[in-house]
Structures are given as C-alpha cells and as structure tokens.
Structure 1
C-alpha cells in the first residue's frame, strides 16, 4: 500500500464517520425542534457519502458482485460470531448496560445480515455456474525472523536511520555544488569574454560566489525550517486527536491495519497493544495515516541543510574561479569551462553511485546542463563584448 492509498483510506474513514455523525446530529435536531439545522446536517451527510464513494472508486476497492458478496459474508460472519460477543462481554464486565444492549441489537441484526448475504451469494454462484468459494481471504503477516539477535537488530535499525538521514542531505550537496559551479563558471566566462581582463572577472565571479552562497544557504534554511514546522504541526495535531478522541483514533488504527491485510482480530490486538504507549501510538499513526516519520522529523536540521548547501556552493564556485587566478583571457575561459564540466560529470557520477541510479547516466545529465550553461555564458559575453 503506497502513501496515496493510505491517504485515500484515511479520507474514506473520515467521510464515512462524518456521514454517520451528521445523520445522528440531524435526527437530534429534529427531536429538538430545529428542522432548519437538521436539513443542513442531512444535506451535507449525503455529500460525505458521495465523497466516500469517490475515494473507494479511486482505490479500486469495489470488485465484482461475486467477490463483494464473498468478502461481506466473511466480514459479517466475523462481526456476528467473534467481534460483537467480545464487545458484549466487555460491556457487561464494565457495567455499560446501554452499550451492551446496543451491541446485542447489532449482533442480532448482523447475524440476520449474514443469512441474507449467504443466500444472495448462493443464488449468484448458481446463476453464474461457479463453484461455491470462500470469502476473500485475509492476508497473514509474515512470521518474524528470530534468527537475529534483538540488540543487534535494534542497533542496525538505528544506524540505518542515521545513514538515510545523512543520504537525504545529498540533495543539498549536489544542488549546491552544481549551482555553484554552473553559475560562477557562467558569470566568469561572460565577464572575461566581454572585457578580456582578469580583475573585473575575479571581482564579478567572487561577488557571484559570495552572494550565491548566502542566498542558497538562507534559502535552504528557510525551506527546511518551513517543512520541519509543517511536519511538527501535523504531529502535534495528531497527538491532540489521540489525547482528545482516543476511541476514534483507535478505530482508525484498527481499520488501517485491516487495510494492510491483517484480520480484524489481529488488527484489534495490535492496535490495543500500540495504544498502551502514547509515544508509540503517535509514531504509528503519523507513519500510517500521515506518511510522516516521527524520528525523521525530530532529526531534521535546517542548520545542517543550510551548511551543506552553502559550503558545497562555495566549493563549486571556488573551483570554477581557480583557472582565472593562473591563466588569462581565452585560456582561462577554456580551462575554467573544461574543469567545471569535468567536475560536474564527476559530481553526477558520485550522485549516481550514492543513489543507485547509474553513474554514467547521472554524470551525463549534469554534464549536459553544464554544457548548455557554458554556451549561454560564452554567447552572452561575446554579444556584450561586441
């Protein structure tokens, strides 16, 4: 299940819950003599149903009638024979008489629903001429591999998380150095081609390098901070929902586990254990519902991102300027462009090796960008000189 599927299921659960709540609110409004409010509740309740159906269609969750009947037979059988009996017993032990009566009524209706669905399934199988088949099976999660030592596994997970966080910073390094090389190379080549003098070329290239370093570092800091603030805001919102509406959040977690292939009994068991630890509960909901990693958000560092961006930009810019310190005029342009293109190709190869996307393809991609920029810079300087 990818992130979009998780988002669709989360949206479906929210729309379905809203439909039932708004219907109940509308009925209460009628009882209290407020038909105008009831009308609004009922109208929007219908809209929520439309939204929920759209989410289901996007998920491809509505199969053929035969498959749908087989699935609901399995689900109704579980609810009537397993889920509600446990709910009734728990309500009885906790002295919740009203809840117990509600569960008992629902169980009787679910058993009647099961009979109706079974009859419909038998009739459809006979009509289609297919052999009776089981309801859609629930996927069984793989058994954990107990061959590894627990402490070793925990250490490996921690080190892998740190490694991934470090690798994600390759974006700043590659982007910063690439931009430093290309922008400084272009400025230097343009000024040298236009003036033929080293001093103004170095001044222009140096100013470009300094301004670019400050601009890129501050931009990276602000962008990373905005992203971190957004992630932290979503996590705080989720933590607040867990604290204020634990029953709803627990039901959502159970449903998310079911959508991942676990049986309802397994989902309820896992969700119950997870909910005993508030931090683990938040971590699980943030990953499964929001697609956010609690640890990754905590380890995000706008300052480190800004440092990586600024230093890599400055390094790339300095490497493009070196030929102008040693040579003059056209020789310096040729040497700077050649050195810059070679560095871009090596940078692309390094990026490809780290990301596993192919060193030659990655190197050629960045090299092509550099060639276009170099030609543009030379042409601009040549036209300015004329």
Structure 2
C-alpha cells in the first residue's frame, strides 16, 4: 500500500440541529461576546497617580526641610539671646504654627495657580482645535518632529494621535500638560502642613529638652540627623542618589543655625 492509498481523515462533522416538531423557528446559536477594545484608562490612571505622588513628595520634602531649618534657626537664634526656657518655647511654638500654616497656604496658592494655568491652556487648545484644526495639526506635527520622530512618519503619527484623542495629543506633546494629571492643591497643602509640623518638632523638642550649655550642639545634632534621614527617605521615594543632595541639605541647615545663633548672641538681648 502506498501513501496515496491511505484515506485522509474526514473533517469533524458539524452537529445538525433538527427543527422542532411543532415547526417553530430554529433558535439561533448564541453569538460570541465582542472582544474588549483596548483602552488607555489604565495608563491615564497611572499618570494621574504618578503626578499626585510626585506632587505630594515634593511638597512633603520641602515642608519637612523648611520646618526643620526654620524652627531650628529661630529657636537657636532666641537661645543665643536668652536661656529662659519659657521664651524658647513660645518662640519655637509660634514659629512652628505660623510656619506650618504659611507653608500650607503657600502650597495651596502655588498649586492652584498652576492648575488654573493648565486648565486655561487646555480650554484654549480645545477652542483652537475647533476653529483652526489645520493650523493646530501643523503645530502638532512640528512638535512631534522636534522630539526626533523622522519626517516621513511624523505626519501619520500625528494623524493617528488626533484620531485617538486630539485634545490630549495637542496638550501633551505641545504643552506638556495632561487634563487627567492636573494635580489637586489640597493634597499639596495638607502634605506641607503635616510635614512642616513633624520637621519643626525635631529641633523644638531638642532645644527644650537639653540643658542651656548643650542646647546648640544638641540641636545641631538633631537637625543634622533629621536632614540626613529626610534626604535618604526622599531619595528612596524618588529613586535617586541621596549622597550629594543630602550633603547639600545638611550643610545649608548647619550654616543657617550658626548664622542665626551668631546674630542672637551678637545682639546681646536679654529677654525677661
């Protein structure tokens, strides 16, 4: 027997559906559910969370650093003029409360201004797309070409982006603004308030708990340790090298303490 004599396997038979006995119509086979279309909601959500995280990290690091240096500077400056613990407590507490509120308000105003600017830019871009789409398309092509996309494909890339989401393409690639990633000013304000308070408590407690002759070295040691810890934590969260930035922060904080203490001591004011 040769290979040609071997019969090929028959295709699987399709099951037949006999019509019902009463002559009614045969029910149609259930249709397959349509495949889910890929969406960019997950990516957009990731960008929003990343923007919020970066914004709060920036506000937290800035608030904690400002709290440590500002409260320590004022407390050490007062300690250079008087050894009265009561006045040190009053000055330090006033600096802590005023600085935390000022920091929170400053962050709220700053981020609110940036948010309003971004939203105004988005609204203006939306209006321009409705009035002069050809001009805006040419500007998008130019912006994409500036990023290094080859000239022979930049046009189709721009067309594809505009078909997907024209407003997002123009705001993101031309202006660096994303509608869904506009950060909240309240998050930055609360983060600054809390971080400034926690940072300011370190030198305040150190200067109040130490004896008069050791206030300056104890406070400086506490400030250096707090700034070093802050530098390491912020570098870990931001996934960056910590040594150089931490060293700069420590040197700046120590210089601020020495200057304010020297001013307080030079004035020779006795607070009673």
TM-score higher than 0.5: yes
Per-residue deviation at 1:337? 2.0
Q: Which moves more between the two structures, 180-189 or 243-252?
A: 243-252
Q: Deviations over 1:166-217 (max 9, x none)?
A: 0232221111111111111111112122111100000011111111111111
Match of 1:183 in 2: 70
Superimposed CA distance per residue, residues 1-37 of structure 1 (whole angstroms, 9 cap, x where no aligned partner): xxxxxxxxxxxxxxxxxxxxxxxxxxxxxxxxxxxxx
Q: TM-score, normalised by structure 1?
A: 0.55
How is 1:225-236 mapped onto 2 (pairs within 5 angstroms)?
Answer: 225-236=112-123
Query: Which sits farther off after the overlay, 182-191 or 233-242?
Result: 182-191
> How far off is 1:309 after superposition?
1.2
The alpha carbon displacement at 1:293 in A equals 2.3
* 1:241 counterpart residue number: 128
Contact 1:193-1:330 at 8 Å conserved across structures = no
Name 2:226's counterpart in structure 1.
Answer: 343
1:281-300 mapped onto 2 (5 Å cutoff): 281-297=166-182, 300=183
Q: Mark the CA change 1:296 to 1:156 in structure 2 (over 3 Å): closer, same or farther.
A: closer
Q: Does 1:354 align with 2:237?
A: yes
Cα distance in 1 between the residues matched to 2:138 and 2:77:
64
Secondary structure of the 1:159 match is helix
The CA deviation string for residues 339-370 of structure 1, in whole angstroms up to 9 with x for no partner, is: 11110111112223333442221211110011
Is the partner of 2:231 in helix, strand or coil? helix
Change (3 A) 1:274 1:322: same
Taking a change above 3 Å as real, the CA distance of residues 156 and 367 of structure 1, as seen in their structure-2 partners, is: same
Residue 275 of structure 1: SS of its match in structure 2?
A: helix
Query: Which of the pair has the greater relative contact order for Cα pairs under 8 Å at 6+ separation?
Result: 2
Identify if the C-alpha distance between structure 1 residues 152 and 239 changes in structure 2 by more than 3 Å, giving closer, same or farther: closer
The answer for unaligned runs of 5 or more in structure 1 is 1-149
Closer, same or farther in 2 for the Cα pair 1:255/1:317, shift >3 Å? closer
Query: Radius of gyration: which is bigger?
Result: 2
**Number of residue equivalences:** 232
Equivalent residue number for residue 207 of structure 1: 94
Deviation at 1:334, TM superposition (A): 2.6
Pair 1:374–1:163, CA change in 2 (3 A): same
**Unaligned stretches of 5+ residues in structure 2:** 1-36
Normalization by structure 2: what TM-score? 0.76
